[in-house]
Amino acid sequence: MAKALIGHLNSDLRDPRLAIENARLRTRVRELENLVLRLSEENDRLVAARAAELLEVAPLQEMQPA
């Protein structure tokens, strides 16, 4: 896969503009990955809190036959 990625880039890897752009994009990807992780953890925490809240408010009731 690395060969495919490098082959996709301009063949002149000495161009400093490309290096700067690649570094910027890598940084942005890292930021977005961290954001996804943080939001996922926050979502899990909120779901658990809501489930606990629902169990406290309305304990499970037995179903009655019709």
Query: Residue 21: its pLDDT value, please?
Result: 93
Query: Residue 56: its pLDDT value, please?
Result: 83
pLDDT in tens, the chain (66 residues): 565 656 665 555 678 898 899 999 999 999 999 999 999 999 999 999 999 988 887 665 666 766
Query: Residue 33: its pLDDT value, please?
Result: 98
Q: Which amino acid is at 6?
A: I
